Amino acid sequence: MSESTDPTAAATRDIADVAAVEVITTAAVHLMSAAAVKCGLAEDGPRGAGADFLDLDEARKLITALAALVTASAPDIGNQHARSLRDGLRSLQLAFREASPFPDAPGEGPGEKFTGSVV
């Protein structure tokens, strides 16, 4: 198989053309979207109410991973990108706290070891 028809080579070239900030923000958006669904924030649809997808254990893991990514990458991706990611993260942390029947103590919520308390 020649390099021109090798899908791995083509994918590698495609990835090489993408700036790191784009890869980081794309990963963050995927984590945010998944966390929002797991916090019960999905729109109601033909498969049921968004609240039917509530899974706080899974949401906690996703929010913590997002907090680590945002905190670690903020100095490198620039204030404009970091600010919007931090805002989304904080909204998810607050949504998690609101959805939880037994809210965590301040500073103990998902990702708060990286961001500090959101309350």
pLDDT tens for 25-71 read 999 999 999 999 999 998 876 767 778 889 999 999 999 999 999 99
What pLDDT is stored for residue 37 in this prediction? 95
Query: Is 53 contained in some domain?
Result: yes
What pLDDT is stored for residue 12 in this prediction? 77
- Provide the whole-model pTM: 0.85
Query: Is 10 contained in some domain?
Result: no
What domain range is 95 assigned to?
Answer: 19-114
Query: Is 6 contained in some domain?
Result: no
Query: Is 84 contained in some domain?
Result: yes
What pLDDT is stored for residue 46 in this prediction? 72
What pLDDT is stored for residue 87 in this prediction? 97
- Tally of CB atoms within 10 A around 73: 20
For residue 3, pLDDT beyond 60: no
What pLDDT is stored for residue 4 in this prediction? 60
Query: Is 58 contained in some domain?
Result: yes
Query: Is 5 contained in some domain?
Result: no
Q: Which is higher by pLDDT, 9 or 31?
A: 31
Q: Which of 2-16, 20-34, 42-56, 72-86 has the lowest mean pLDDT?
A: 2-16
Query: Is 68 contained in some domain?
Result: yes
Number of domains in the chain: 1
What pLDDT is stored for residue 6 in this prediction? 78
Alpha carbon distances (Å) from 41 to 8, 30, 32, 45, 64 = 37, 14, 11, 12, 17
Query: Is 92 contained in some domain?
Result: yes
